[in-house]
Amino acid sequence: MPLPESARSLFRPPFRNYQFDAAYDEMFQAPGVPRPHYQALFQTLLELPPEEMRKSQQAADLSFLHQGITFTVYGNDEGTERVFPNDLLPRIIPHHEWRKIESGLTQRIAALNLFLEDVYHRGRILADGIVPRELVYSCRHFRREMRNLTVPRGIYVSICGTDLVRLPDGSFAVLEDNLRVPSGVSYMLANRKVLKKVFPTLFRDYGVCPIDHYAQALLATLRALSPASSTSRHEPTVVLLTPGVFNSAYFEHTFLAQQMGIELVEGRDLLVHDNVVYMRTTAGLKRVDVIYRRVDDDFLDPLCFRRDSGLGVPGLFNAYRAGNVAMANAVGTGVADDKALYAYVPAIIRYYLGEEPVIANVETYLLTDRSQRNYVLEHLDELVVKAVGESGGYGMLIGPHSTAEQREDFRQRIQAEPRNYIAQPTLSLSRAPCFLEGEAQARHVDLRPYILYGENVTLVPGGLTRVALRRGSLVVNSSQGGGSKDTWVLRA
């Protein structure tokens, strides 16, 4: 049978070596047949000389380097700064798909906030046996100090970054929630800036939803948390608390502070007096109402949490308890993004909202359960094992890509501390074309939209599409050879 016209074009550059496998392909519905919303990009790429693309890629890389859009890789001798690789081919999401993502994530953040409020107060969901008590209390991120503490508007998670993956059947599933200090949003904004320069006409013709209002929306969200005691003064003072220059996300901290027009402070710039937080300015002490903190719970206040923390502010937690300062996210939200608790999120949604989850979870094995554990230990070579409290792609075993030695290591670790691990089937993440080595190649991608919860829930259309740039790799984390690309959500 002769190939259809469009399929023949598949074998033209830059798609000559484009690979298909069982994974869902974001661009093609069948080899050579692009999905309708990718048609225009496909056509543009066929007409564009690869040389042109290569030049654009070089210009983009250079611009990232000069602006210092870098992250720090831990574990080397000294923190090495690296440019976060950016891929020029946009990932396109049709409007109706985005609507579903939006409603699913809105539902999820609402339910998780109700859960946190409940867990730190009456604990109905525990009493009703929906979520096991020991699971919550054994969580490393559960903060006893938060019991019966009222947070502004009852909002615990104001800024959330949820990782979504697309399964082979084309549906989205939640891979994990990041409810502590999700990062990456600056790359989302930087990618957009670059892409608008590379594909101005295409961008305009596609009708892409803008994302530039993120900083403003974030500021509004943070201001909405301003404690009642400070409403008499007209504008609440919001600051961004960073661990400092050596943090891997320092660039993002400076970027967001600059975009919002707020002060970027370190722990040593703040002090607490009579349970009120002040920052030290040249004009004297200035009261702080809301802290967007990019410092982990553990390091916030040496009087309350880790004593050896030099990053924190002594007395901060007391000021927080007194209701004189708000923090985003609240302390103790990590209990809800524990990877073992994740398995209960669908039940949590049903419990508080009486609704079915709009976006499904990924099947998860809890290793505290004997039969599930046995199954996992027998199938280590097929599954992905993750440490419950880790993020950033650290502490992970990918069964099919692992060595016998690594599996043995995880077997022992699981048996020693089953609560510390979960297992999931190895997912075939969807693939999207990336411009690599002068041609389009398929790589696995995920999607991290950012959800803001203040006066109301705001999702900036799109998010960070992370790419596993190594051929065949399933790990998209920047620390593990991942990159990112711009995400276009279409207006209609």
- Which C-beta is closer to other proteins: that of 53 or that of 279? 279
What is the smallest separation between the CB atom of 313 and other proteins, expressed in angstroms? 13
- Which C-beta is closer to other proteins: that of 254 or that of 426? 254
What is the smallest separation between the CB atom of 242 and other proteins, expressed in angstroms? 10
Residue in this structure with the two tokens 């004297």, named with its chain if needed? 284
Site for other proteins in 108-127 (CB under 8 A): none
Distances in whole angstroms, Cα of residue 19 to Cα of each of 2, 9, 433, 466: 20, 14, 9, 19
- Which C-beta is closer to other proteins: that of 209 or that of 271? 271
- Scanning 27-35, 61-69, 148-156, 327-335 for contacts with other proteins by CB under 8 A, the matching segment is 61-69
Using alpha carbons only, give the angle 179, 184, 188 rounded to the nearest 5 degrees. 125
Distance, in Å, from the CA atom of 336 to the CA atom of 110, rounded to the nearest integer, reads 12
- Which C-beta is closer to other proteins: that of 175 or that of 265? 265
Site for other proteins in 308-367 (CB under 8 A): none
What is the smallest separation between the CB atom of 294 and other proteins, expressed in angstroms? 14
Distance, in Å, from the CA atom of 1 to the CA atom of 133, rounded to the nearest integer, reads 62
Site for other proteins in 178-217 (CB under 8 A): none
Residues 6+ apart with CB under 8 A from 180: 141, 296, 297, 329, 333, 334, 337
Using CB under 8 A as the binding criterion, the count of chain residues that bind other proteins stands at 27
- Which C-beta is closer to other proteins: that of 282 or that of 371? 282
What is the smallest separation between the CB atom of 263 and other proteins, expressed in angstroms? 6
- Which C-beta is closer to other proteins: that of 12 or that of 273? 273
What is the smallest separation between the CB atom of 247 and other proteins, expressed in angstroms? 12
- Which C-beta is closer to other proteins: that of 106 or that of 254? 254
What is the smallest separation between the CB atom of 218 and other proteins, expressed in angstroms? 16
What is the smallest separation between the CB atom of 435 and other proteins, expressed in angstroms? 27
- Which C-beta is closer to other proteins: that of 173 or that of 271? 271
Q: Taking CB under 8 A as the rule, which mask of x and - marks residues 213-242 in contact with other proteins?
A: ------------------------x-----
Please name which of 422, 450, 448 lies closest in space to residue 362, comparing C-alpha atoms. 422
What is the smallest separation between the CB atom of 277 and other proteins, expressed in angstroms? 12
What is the smallest separation between the CB atom of 310 and other proteins, expressed in angstroms? 14
**Residue 295, interface with other proteins (CB under 8 A)?**
no
Site for other proteins in 8-27 (CB under 8 A): none
- Which C-beta is closer to other proteins: that of 278 or that of 305? 278
Q: Which residue in 150, 258, 415, 456 binds other proteins (CB under 8 A)?
A: 258
The token pair at 270 is: 């703040």
**Residue 67, interface with other proteins (CB under 8 A)?**
yes
Q: Taking CB under 8 A as the rule, which mask of x and - marks residues 261-290 in contact with other proteins?
A: --xxxx-xx-x-x----xxxxxxxxx----
- Which C-beta is closer to other proteins: that of 146 or that of 256? 256
> How many other β-carbons are positioned within 10 Å of the β-carbon of residue 202?
19
What is the smallest separation between the CB atom of 257 and other proteins, expressed in angstroms? 6
Three-state SS string across the chain, please? CCCCHHHHHHCCCCCCCCCCCCCCECCEEECCEECHHHHHHHHHHHHCCHHHHHHHHHHHHHHHHHCCCEEEECCCCCCEEEECCEEEEEEEECHHHHHHHHHHHHHHHHHHHHHHHHHCCCCHHHHCCCCCHHHHHCCCCCCHHHCCCCCHHHCCCCEEEEEEEECCCCCEEEEEEECCCCCCHHHHHHHHHHHHHHCHHHHHHHCECCCCCHHHHHHHHHHCCCCHHHCCCCCCCEEEECCCCCCCCHHHHHHHHHHHCCEEECHHHEEEECCEEEEEECCEEEECCEEEECCCHHHCCCCCCCCCCCCCCCCHHHHHHCCCCEEECCCCHHHHCCCCHHHHHHHHHHHHHCCCCCCEECCCEECCCHHHHHHHHHCCCCEEEEECCCCCCCCEEEHHHCCHHHHHHHHHHHHHCHHHEEEEECCCCCEEEEEECCEEEEEEECEECEEEECCCEEECCCCEEEEECCCCCCCCCHHHCEEEEEEEEECC
What is the smallest separation between the CB atom of 253 and other proteins, expressed in angstroms? 9
- Scanning 5-13, 207-215, 250-258, 318-326 for contacts with other proteins by CB under 8 A, the matching segment is 250-258
- Scanning 3-11, 223-231, 255-263, 411-419 for contacts with other proteins by CB under 8 A, the matching segment is 255-263
- Which C-beta is closer to other proteins: that of 272 or that of 475? 272
- Which C-beta is closer to other proteins: that of 197 or that of 286? 286
The token pair at 364 is: 């998860």
**Residue 59, interface with other proteins (CB under 8 A)?**
no
- Which C-beta is closer to other proteins: that of 15 or that of 255? 255
Residues within the interface to other proteins (CB under 8 A): 66-68, 237, 244-245, 254-255, 257-258, 263-266, 268-269, 271, 273, 278-286
